[in-house]
Structure 1
Amino acid sequence: MKRLMLFIPLVVFFGMGVLFWVGLGQEDKSVLPSPLIGKPFPQFILNTVESGESLNHLPQEAVLVNVWATWCPTCKAEHEFLNALAQQGVKIVGINYKDDDFKARQWLKAYGNPYLFNIADPDGQLGLELGVYGAPETFLVDSQGIIRGKHVGDLNARVWEKLQPQFEALK
């Protein structure tokens, strides 16, 4: 009987391991929830990368707000797709996150500029208010300035297939 009692901790440990493993498989790992969905885009007064002009609001139309940086290899991978979206008439605003304005201007000159304008966020303050995990991230913002969706990671054709109907509904 005492020998049997020695196996109880092992059985309990095994049972807890199975429950933990099953629980991990229940969540959708492709979606990171954002507490800002349905809330206004944060107020900001920041300069644009292109001209240094101060801005404090987004356009009053549906836009994608793309957080990017020159130091981000994934941003370079998604940039060609962003250029294609802009050519199709999709309005995109950039947030140059924790980056140098000179490097950002050089990047845009070399790879094309799909953005209506780029907000310079060198210290990451706006990114912090948006809950940015890192670049790239893309927010869907309606004409009233309300955040309606968020995608973490590169925006590509496969992801856009899922986001496009939601974005089109904002217009």
Structure 2
Amino acid sequence: MAKVSPLMVAPPLVFAALAGLFFWGMAREDADVLPSQLIGKPVPPVELSQLGPTPLLTNEVLAEPGVKLVNFWGTWCVACRAEHPTLLWMRDNLDVPLHGINFDDTTARALAYLEEDGNPFAALGEAKTARTKIDWGVYGAPETFIIDANGIVVLRWAGPITKRVLESDILPAIEKAKAAGSGS
């Protein structure tokens, strides 16, 4: 009987282990959702620069009472442009302020875009460094965070907010955040 080298057994074992990890990852509740370490934790600080005449998004604005949304966006982002009409609808139809953080963009392009397509944001800022993006755990744009009245992150949505996403994820999270703030 021929002796089998342990090196011959290693590749199939490594393959089986990787296959198991992939299977486990795909079997998560929602494999499309990127995890966030912020859910259930206080909103991180922001270090932003003024962007046009819209009030500056500051730590004090984020500490104000009430539920709020924070949207990371950029004019270079096709998905941000796709979600823009939904953000305008949210501004006009929800009783929750929407705040914006523009990043990896130029001030001139951002201002021109908001002037041309409309500004959905109650407060706005421009991230001149990566610090805010890193603190918030932002992978890319668009990303939207829902914050309850106690300053706790309730939801992080990575990707554009479509009508379906608004109905299935964003609006229920806003209601959850409102309930958390009312002590219910």
TM-score by length of 1: 0.84
- Secondary structure at 1:148 match in 2: strand
Could you list the runs of 5+ residues in structure 2 that have no partner in the other structure? Answer: 179-184
Contact 2:73 2:80 in 1 (8 A): yes
Identity of aligned residues (%): 34
Which position in structure 2 is the counterpart of 1:33? 35
CA pair 16-150 structure 1, distance change in 2 beyond 3 A = closer
Could you list the runs of 5+ residues in structure 1 that have no partner in the other structure? Answer: none
- Secondary structure at 1:37 match in 2: coil
4+ residue runs of structure 1 moved beyond 6 angstroms? none
- Secondary structure at 1:114 match in 2: coil
Contact 2:47 2:127 in 1 (8 A): no
Contact 2:47 2:131 in 1 (8 A): no
Partners in 2 of 1:37 and 1:17 — Cα distance?
A: 28
CA pair 145-11 structure 1, distance change in 2 beyond 3 A = closer
Match of 1:50 among 31, 34, 52: 52
Which position in structure 2 is the counterpart of 1:22? 23
Partners in 2 of 1:53 and 1:80 — Cα distance?
A: 21
Partners in 2 of 1:24 and 1:144 — Cα distance?
A: 33
* Counterpart amino acid of residue 152 in structure 2: I
Aligned residues: 169
CA pair 2-20 structure 1, distance change in 2 beyond 3 A = farther
- Secondary structure at 1:74 match in 2: helix
CA pair 23-97 structure 1, distance change in 2 beyond 3 A = same
Compute the displacement of 1:166 (Å): 1.7
Compute the displacement of 1:148 (Å): 1.2
Q: For residues 91-130 of structure 1, what are the structure 2 equivalents within 5 Å? A: 91-130=97-136
Mapped pair 1:67 → 2:85: no
